[in-house]
Amino acid sequence: MRMLPATIALTASLVGACSASRAPSTPQDAILNLHSQAASSALELERSEEAIEQYRRAFERAIARDDAGDIGDYGYDLAVAQLDANQPKQALASVGRTKTELARRGAPSFAALDLAEATAYYRIGDKEASDRLASKAEAGGDAAAAARAAYLRGLIADDDDNAEGLDQAVARLANPTSTDQQADAAELIARQQIRQGEFNGAATAAEHAADLRRDILDYRGMARALSVAAYAEQRGGDAEAASSLYIRADQSAAALGDSASARSWLRRGMTLTKDSSLQEAVKISLASLKASPAPADH
């Protein structure tokens, strides 16, 4: 079974990043491959619902052919696509069914699947379940999943005002080996520095994290990093800089369909600015949010 790298957003760009473990000479299921290719193409074009449907068909085909490796692969891919579409409850259901089907065939779960489940629990606000699963993923043998699990546990610690837990997560990401790990480390350092009252350094670190996430096409993570930079500027006393950053985070989140985050950041930006151009940006964002349908799930 392949071990895919996973991000806290578990972005679509990572789906299919590694090849399956079966030998090249093994006959391939053409229908399964067509569904997989269609899903990958849909994700590249940001057609989330189409990608979800194609991965669901691939998953059902994997069950039909009674292949535990494909069941794990495409169950994971389906959950990632649902998380990318901001559907954590559906992702939880997909992970649960995947684990059930794997167990039925005597196959174990794997760290990336546990991390997808942890991410979904975090998205719906069940931080206890999220931390438990992230701890399991962190202790597994998948180095990439372990690093991302450490990042998720750092977010949870920060949410819970657990400075010691946040420090531990920063320490675990002290030697990042990829761009996504560098971004994770920079964002956690920014959160740590905010707690330490180092607001200028925190804003710099958070904006660096946003730049790195932009480079790897993790726009949801980029928006979150921008909001951390905004909070650092706000705590440091630069209201206009904070407002601008909150509005930038709002615009990205709104474009991604994350209306809950967009509204939260927009409200913060509105209260901080007296700049007419920023106020106009707020009006445009408000109009966009009112015109957009609410996402199916949060």
**Quick check: helix, strand or coil at residue 26?**
coil
pLDDT of residue 17: 35
CA distance 238 to 231: 10
pLDDT one digit per residue (tens) for the chain, 298 residues = 433 333 344 443 333 333 334 445 567 888 999 999 999 998 888 899 999 999 999 999 999 999 999 999 999 999 999 999 889 999 999 999 999 999 999 999 999 999 999 999 999 999 999 999 999 999 988 999 999 999 999 999 999 999 999 999 999 999 999 999 999 999 999 999 999 999 999 999 999 999 999 999 999 999 999 999 999 999 999 999 999 999 999 989 988 888 888 888 988 888 887 777 766 766 676 666 655 544 444 3
Tell me the CATH number of domain 1-22+29-163, given options 3.90.640.10, 1.25.40.10, 1.10.3720.10, 3.40.50.1110.
Answer: 1.25.40.10
Task: Report yes or no on whether pTM surpasses 0.75.
Answer: yes
1-22+29-163 and 175-298, same CATH topology: yes
For domain 175-298, the CATH architecture is Alpha Horseshoe (1.25)
Record the tokens describing residue 3, joined without a space. Answer: 């071990």
CA distance 110 to 117: 11
User: Which amino acid is it at 192?
Assistant: Q
pLDDT of residue 2: 37
CA distance 275 to 283: 13
CA distance 260 to 22: 42
pLDDT of residue 223: 96
Nearest to 194 by CA among 206, 182, 208: 206
Instruction: For the chain, list the strands marked E by DSSP.
Output: none
Q: What are the structural domain ranges in the chain?
A: 1-22+29-163, 175-298
CA distance 241 to 243: 5
Q: Assign residue 41 a region: left if phi > 0, alpha if psi is -120 to 50, beta otherwise?
A: alpha
CA distance 145 to 96: 19
CA distance 38 to 57: 11
Q: Are 21 and 69 in contact (CB under 8 A)?
A: yes
